[in-house]
Amino acid sequence: MSVLKESSLYEESLKPLREASAILNLESNVVEAIANPERVLIVSIPVKMDNGKVKTFTGYRVQHNTARGPAKGGIRYHPSVCLDEVKSLAFWMSIKNAVVGIPYGGGKGGITCNPKEMSQNELERLTRGYAAAIAKFVGPDIDIPAPDVGTNAQIMGWFADEYYKITGKYEPGIITSKPLSIGGSVGREPATGRGGFFVTIEAAKTFDIPLKGARVSIQGYGNVAQPIAQYLYEIGCKIVAVSDSVGGAYNPDGMHPLKLAEHKEKTRSVKGFPGSKEISTTDPLTIDCDILVPAALENQITKENADKIKAKLMVELANGPTTPEADKILQEKGVIVLPDVLASAGGVTVSYFEWVQNRMGYYWTEEEVDDKLKRVMTTAFKEVYQTAKQYCLDTSFRVHTKAHQLNLRTATYILAVKRIYEAMKALGRI
């Protein structure tokens, strides 16, 4: 049985690949070779909890495609983590890395757990157990993990230390987004939001969207969204709505992003921010705004709520926040969507910079990192835009070409799939 038929969730994530492949006239056997992950690991991790009892957790690591370089992608700690989700995330990383042109394939990992209910000691034991279980299958030239939902720089430090003990080698390039004291890169923490900001600037120029006074609504006000909120605020945008897993805050006159972050740090939520109206976690998606930033989890924008979205521009900083059905509705409405595999690629781009610096043993300044990130992200947007123009008659991305409606997401996948295909062909894998 094909791996692809095991889950509708994974099939959903592959729909843009199939659309792009049809436009590129790729044979079905080639599409299957690109779609299927190269390696799937499922590991059991017994952990002694603080109460003295042993609890066994299930961990995953998926290496989707390594034709363009080592697998690269984060480690997620969340109750919803399952194989289908990790496979989808690994696939998106293959696309994302190809879009921005960094020499990586796609990978992803995760553990089914609730880190919010675990102590620091329990999280450390869990992380070290996971690192030990997958150590033979990762490395600076094989597969390079990083943080994702529910993980952070400290967890990366524990993972690296366990890997060093097992292999007997000090190889800081084994993992990225580490603390600066053990080889992390300056500029990595805000990189996903910073990269999203750079492509937003380019899109606004290209589609003539004024940013001065633009109303911004954000779902998921965490480490990814807070930087882009600050950068947009600094150029004159108004942050009118934000939310997190607990609740949300709305003020049509705008809110200060740093004060929102401070409130969240104190109360563990943006809910109840002074001067704001309380809203739900999902309300930011449908509030009247100019720019919408989904920065929470996948599948938040569906056929049920897509027609209620009022934004002119949507900047996807979450992985897979929009279902294929919702994508079509947004396209018909004329909403310009900067897809996740482009908009959220700033994080992995600076992770690549960190890996390069680790291997050189020479570290760049924050200004150098920022300049390089801006160059990569703006170039990627322009290449996606040119790809879209190449495959349609105008730049509205609503023109039917070969029975397909081409939009920025499709253009992004066309660009990425071409690069992956060319690498696999050059290696003789297809």
Q: Which residues are identified as catalytic? A: 108
Residue 137: other Cβ atoms inside 10 A: 15
Give the three-class secondary structure for 296. Answer: coil
Give the three-class secondary structure for 368. Answer: helix
Helices (H), 168-291: 191-206, 225-234, 257-267
SS3 content of the chain, % helix, strand, coil (to 5): 45, 20, 35
Distance CA 230, CA 209 (A): 19
Is residue 64 within 8 Å of 109, Cβ to Cβ? no
Is residue 95 within 8 Å of 413, Cβ to Cβ? yes
Burial of 347 (0-12, 13-18, 19+ CB in 10 A): buried
Show contacts of 385-390: CB within 8 Å, 24+ apart.
Answer: 385/206, 385/411, 387/411, 387/412, 387/414, 387/415
Q: Which amino acid, 3?
A: V
Q: In this structure, is the dihedral angle defined by the CA atoms of residues 347, 314, 342 and 142, taken in order, positive or negative? A: positive
* Residue among 6, 5, 92 at smallest CA distance from 42: 6
Angle at the Cα of 263 from the Cα atoms of 258 and 268, rounded to 5 degrees? 125
Angle at the Cα of 63 from the Cα atoms of 58 and 69, rounded to 5 degrees? 150
Q: Which pair of tokens denotes residue 47?
A: 């952990």
Is residue 293 within 8 Å of 219, Cβ to Cβ? yes
Distance CA 323, CA 302 (A): 5
In sequence order, what are the residues at sequence separation of 6 or more whose Cβ sits closer than 8 angstroms to the Cβ of residue 117?
A: none
Residue 99: enclosing H or E segment and its boundaries?
helix 83-99
